[in-house]
Structure 1
Amino acid sequence: MDKDTNVNEKPFLYTMSLINGKWKMHILFWLSKRKVLRYSELKRLLGKITHKMLSTQLKELEHDKLIIRTEYQQVPPKVEYSLSETGLSLMPVLNSICYWGTKHMNDNE
C-alpha cells in the first residue's frame, strides 16, 4: 500500500502522545469538572488507579503543560492540580467525546 503523501498525520500523533493512556483523559475530565483537585481527591475519583500510575500520569500531564501543579509550603504539605490554559483549550474535544458517548452508549445494548 502506498503511503498517502497528502495527509499530515503529525498533528494527530502529537495530540495522541499527550493524551494517550488509560488515565490521562480521565484525569483531565475530573479537573474540567472540579477545577481544582488535590492528589487524594483525584485518587478517590479515579478508583482503581495505583499511586505509581497516578503520580506518573500527573507528572506527564504537567510536563506536557496540560495541568498546573501548585504546591503550598505548609505542614502537612498541600498540592493542588488544575487545568492550564493549554489543558482548558483541549476541553471542547473532551466535551465532544462525552457528547458522542451520550448519543451512542446505548447502541450496543
Structure 2
Amino acid sequence: MKNDTNDDDQLVIKTENGFFLEDNCPMTNALDIIGGKWKLMLLNKIREECPMRFGVLRKKMQYITQATLTAQLKELERDGILLRTAYAESPPRVEYKLTELGKTLIPIMDALCDWGNNYCQMKKSIK
C-alpha cells in the first residue's frame, strides 16, 4: 500500500523549506487573495465605512505607505473583492466598496476578530 498524500496529478514545487502544493489547496487560494500584512485590515476598514474614499482610508491606515496602499487596493480590485469608483470631479474623488464577492468575507473577518479577542482573553488569564 502506497502511503502518499499527494495525488499523481498534483503539481509539486520544491521550495527552500520543503514542498509547496500549487493550485490544489483552498487555503492557499484564499491566502493568495487576502493574505499579507494589510489586506484584511483594509477590507475591515472599508466594510466599517462603505464606500470609503481613498484619502479617508489613507488617514485611517497610518502605517501603510501610499504606494503599498495603492498596490493592495489594485490587487483586491483585480481579484474582484473591491469595486473602485472614480468620479470626474475637481479635486478627483475615488471610492472603494466591497463587491458581492467581497461581502462574503465579512463572516470570515468577524470570525477572525472573535478569535483574536478570545486569544487576548486567554493570554491574559494565563499570566
Fold match by TM threshold 0.5 = yes
Unaligned runs of 5+ residues in structure 2 are 8-22
**Could you tell me how far 1:20 is from its partner in structure 2?**
1.1
Question: What is the aligned-residue identity percentage?
Answer: 33
Q: Which residue among 19, 23, 32 is the counterpart of 2:38?
A: 23
CA shift at 1:3, angstroms? Answer: 4.9
Deviation at 1:4, TM superposition (A): 2.1
What is the alpha-carbon distance in structure 1 between the residues aligned to residue 114 and residue 98 of structure 2?
20
- Give, in whole Å, the separation in 1 of the partners of 2:104 and 2:73: 18
Relative to structure 1, is the Cα distance of residues 74 and 3 closer, same or farther in structure 2, using a 3 angstrom cutoff? Answer: farther
Question: SS in structure 2 opposite 1:105?
Answer: helix
The structure with higher relative contact order (CA 8 Å, sep 6+) is 1
Which amino acid in 2 is paired with 1:103? N
Instruction: Quote the RMSD (CA, aligned, Å).
Output: 1.7
**Would you say 1:49 and 2:64 are equivalent positions?**
yes
Q: What secondary structure is seen at the aligned counterpart in 1 of 2:64?
A: coil
- Give SS of 1:69's match: strand
Aligned to 1:93: 108
TM-score by length of 1: 0.90
Which ranges of structure 1 fall in alignment gaps of 5 or more residues? Answer: none
User: CA 1:3–1:22 in structure 2 vs 1: closer, same or farther (change >3 Å)?
Assistant: farther
Per-residue CA deviations over 1:35-88 (Å, capped at 9, x if unaligned) read 111111111111111010000000000000100000111111110000011110
CA radius of gyration, larger in: 2
Aligned residues: 107
Paired residue secondary structure (2:121): coil
Report matched runs for 1:54-73 at 5 Å.
Answer: 54-73=69-88
Q: TM-score, normalised by structure 2?
A: 0.78
| Residue pairs, 1:98-109, within 5 angstroms | 98-109=113-124
Q: Report how far residue 9 of structure 1 moved.
A: 4.8
Distance 1:90 1:78, change over 3 A: same
Matched, 1:84 2:90: no
